[in-house]
Amino acid sequence: MTTTPPSPPLATLDVAAIRRDFPVLSQRQDGHRLVFLDSAASSQHPRQVLDAMTSFYETSYANVHRGVYQLAERATAAYEGARGKVARFIGAPSSNEVVFTKNATEAINLVAGSWGRANLGPGDAVVLTLMEHHANIVPWQMLAAQLGFEIRWVPLTDDGHLDLTDLDRLLDGAKLFAFTAMSNVLGTLNPVARLTAAAHEKGALALVDACQWVPHLPTDVVAMGADFVAFSAHKMLGPSGIGVLWARAELLEAMPPFLGGGGMILNVTTEGFVADAPPGRFEAGTPPIAEAVGLAAAVDYLTGLGMDAVHRHEVELTGYALRTLRAEVGDALTIYGPSEPSERGGVLSIALEGVHAHDISQVLDTQAVCIRPGHHCAKPLMRVLGAPATARASIYVYNDTDDIDALAAALVAARDFFKL
């Protein structure tokens, strides 16, 4: 067996110091150090996020936008302050273009249910790609079944990139091109600005699923050229229960409400209602207030690390992982997606010949290595790969070469256990 020569420690982030900020990573499981490699599903939380939410609940919690007493004013300031921090983090021209949702899935459903229902019908088309998460497939399929528009699909190349050979034809007559910025299965980083420009040249709008992009790379929604961008807090060190839809102001102003109730209106009579201006128009009911505070703290944490440094760290660590896993595990291992680390994010979907992904994950769990088996909410992509499931390891700011070495050793143990 060929072994990989030792590599020097990665220099872009102080991972040892970062780990100390994450209480969950200090625990041991069955005598092993916990190795968390499932951040593409949900990342862990630093103390700074946990403390911000706890402090808010202990000192400043009240409902927002309604009360005039000081506690409510502080809560509203914290909630709207979070909106401002998110806007700056993604390069949004205005915080009024930032809508808080339950998650990115709800954000995409909001676009489908509001903009899509108002603008799509028979004879229209929506273009998707075969690497999409179900959250960017099923809402459009549901709406197409009701309104009668066409869904077209961008295929993939053998090395896990989008096949753009026929993109002009696919976009002819389309009203929307909805695509992921980074595949949650292949790790592929898509040419976002090129794709949005192609959509606009054909008169279509562009929706970017940035769930796997915003946590890992510098984000500028204007430079992206996007019309809609969706992402979730729980993949970027923040809490679950809150996501973000960014959209150009003129689009939000023209879109009808998605949900009805308190908080999204200017007036209600027995004859009807007048909707609030964006973003309030799309935030019916009591919003995720403490979760917004947690998201703001996560933004502060990532800003402190520097998103350029985060990206460089992940490119280096992904390259180390690709080299190490191939050398240590051998020919029984398949790693899906681009082979060049700079063309992908830190997502490694793998297969061991003859072993189901769930069995791999269970064996790795005995070594306290946390990875995710399954179709990763991307069944159309799994059919393209010819795999019912993959075992996915995903890295983030608290991972280093020791974690990759632990992953490699656990995969070797799984290979030997199944006598491959």
- List residues with catalytic annotation: 377
Q: How many residues does the chain have?
A: 420
Helix (H, G, I), strand (E, B) or coil at 4: coil
| CA 206 – CA 149 distance, rounded (Å) | 17
| Structure tokens given for 32 | 């092993």
Contact 22, 50 (CB under 8 A): no
Sequence-separated (6 or more) residues with CB below 8 Å from residue 30: 366, 368
| Identity at 325, one-letter amino acid code | L
CA-wise closest residue to 125 among 153, 152, 159, 107: 152
**E strand or H helix that includes residue 57:** helix 47-59
CA-wise closest residue to 232 among 221, 219, 241, 223: 241
- Cα-trace Rg, the chain: 22
171 - beta bridge partners? Answer: none
In this structure, the number of other CB atoms found within 10 A of the CB of residue 179 comes to 22
From residue 272, give the alpha-carbon distance in Å to each of 117, 258, 386. Answer: 20, 16, 52
What are the two backbone dihedrals, phi and then psi, of residue 331, each rounded to the nearest 5 degrees? Answer: -70, -15
CA-wise closest residue to 2 among 413, 408, 368: 408
**Region of residue 385 (left: phi > 0; alpha: psi -120 to 50; beta: else):** alpha
